[in-house]
Structures are given as C-alpha cells and as structure tokens.
Amino acid sequence: MAIERRAAPKRPYLKLAQRLLAVPDARIDGGLRGALPSAGDIATLADDLMTVLFPSSGRSFTLRGQGPDDLRDSLAASLAALERRLEEAVFLGLHRHCREPGGQRDLDGCRRQAQRVGQKVLSALPDIRALLVKDVEAALEGDPAATGPEEVIACYPGLYAIAIYRAANRLLREGGVIVPRMLTEHAKSRTGIDIHPGATIGSSFFIDHGTGIVIGETTRIGKAVRIYQGVTLGALSIKRRVKTGEGATIAATDSPQRHPTIEDEVIIYANATILGGDTVIGRGAVIGGNSFITYSVPPGIRVGVGR
C-alpha cells in the first residue's frame, strides 16, 4: 500500500537519509551514478514485447468482428507504444556511460544512440517472431499434454522465458546495456528460469516445466534442443595451471567460453548439471536426470539413461 506523505520529513529521518547517502556505492564513482528503469518499467516492457510478438493471442486483437486491417492497426499502435518505452529504457541503461571527449555527459548523443538501438530491435521483431513460432511448434511436438499453440503461449513458462530471452539477446547485440539482463531477470522472477541474454540459442528450443533452469552467458545451444526442469548449463570455477617453457607454473588464461556447448537435437532431463567451456554435448545425445557432467559427450550417446 502506498504511503502518502502528509508533512515535511522529521529530523530523525533526515539524519538517517544523510547517513545512508554517506555510504559509498561499491566500485562506482560519482560520475557513473544515474537512474535505471524501475521493475515496473521492465515488467511493462516485457508485456509489450509479448503483445507484439504474439499479436493474434492478445484479447484486444481478437475481438469478434475485427478483420485483418483492424488487427494491423491495433498491432501498429502497440508497436508505437513499445518503441517509446524501449527507447526510454535503453537510454536509462546507457546514460551513465555516455561521455563527451572532455568527460562530460553527452545526454543528447545518448538519446540518439538509444533511438538507434530501439529502431534496430523493432526492425528485428519479425525475425524474433519467426524463431518463436518454431519454439511453439517444438513445444507442441515435445509435450503430448499441449492442447494447442494458444495453451503453449498463454501457460508455458518455458515459452515466456524463451521469448523474453530472444528479445533481450537481440537488444544486447544491438548495443543495449543492463536492460537486456533486467528483462531476463524479470522473466526469471516470473518463471524460475534463468537465461542470460548473452547465451546463444538456436531455433525450435523447448523447455518443459522449467523451474530451476540456469543457462549461462557463453552457453551455445543448437537447434531442436529439449531441456527439463532443474538443468544447469554452467561454468567451472577450477583454476587451471600450465607450465611455461622455463618450467615455471602459472595460471592459465580462462577461455572466452565458460559454459558448455549443446549441439542439435540433444535432450537433457531434469536436474542434470553440465559444466565447463570445453564441454561439448554432441548432436542427438541424451543426458539423463541428475547427471553431473564436466566432460564432452560424443554424438548420439546416452548418459545416465536406463533402457
């Protein structure tokens, strides 16, 4: 419930506010501070994305008597609203880092950059929707309980998490910062599925149930992959050491890919854990539930799966 301010703040609260402001932010200097989109802003942005990516599923677009022109007009209005919200969110993600050569903030330049990023993401929405259509089809093929695409879109947490990930991934690739991660964190809070926007995921991806899934930033997932609840595609925290030509031992440089590669048509059952940037699960392999894997699996092999 909102608390209405009825009078000027009392002295104890002013003193407490001053003490809070005196505590410095971790690893941030004063020049980097600035507002970010609120949780409500991100939730609204996510809703707008779902509306335009699945327009025929929205109640406002499917009222009886509406024709193709009405659907187009409704979608165009939603796209215009999405563009405004997206540009503002991208700006709030960028503005702390926009600098002129002299070090001053370049807010006008930052707004122009946010506008360019927003326009690129909007122009990519048909491509994102095409991928999501294949994701819906994968759910219909992979889950005999699915009664139709409407149920998958409206009820499946995996499809929601994938849709937000695909939009956030494109936003990240076009130059958006912080907001892509905020979007996928919003999806995580709603579904329990944690997909980093930097991950690479192919078409026809199906997540069944989904709660507790973690997909790390440098994970690479091929086409027609199916994973179940509790699966972790994570990184190893082991520090490897190598010998130099002089016999000295030094820490090796971490590989740019910290998370595993999952090739096409792999199935990973519930609560399996697959770790490491050098780990490759070959095409068509099946990983049984509760498996713990830090090694590569050849194509077509079944690991930890009974007859």
46 phi-psi bin (left φ>0, alpha ψ -120 to 50, beta other): alpha
- 123: number of Cβ within 10 Å: 11
Quote the mean pLDDT of the chain: 88
Position 59 pLDDT exceeds 70: no
CA distance 36 to 110: 14
Domain ranges of the chain: 36-192, 212-307
Fold of the CATH domain 36-192: serine acetyltransferase, domain 1 (1.10.3130)
3-state SS, residue 261: strand
Position 301 pLDDT exceeds 60: yes
3-state SS, residue 80: helix
CA distance 302 to 5: 63
Which CATH class name applies to 212-307?
Answer: mainly beta
Q: Give pLDDT tens digits for 201-211.
A: 999 999 999 99
Position 45 pLDDT exceeds 60: yes
What is the distance in angstroms between the CA of the first residue and the CA of the last residue of the chain?
A: 56
**Four-residue CA torsion sign, 118, 93, 51, 188:** positive
- 217: number of Cβ within 10 Å: 15
Q: Give pLDDT tens digits for 112-134.
A: 999 999 999 999 999 999 999 99
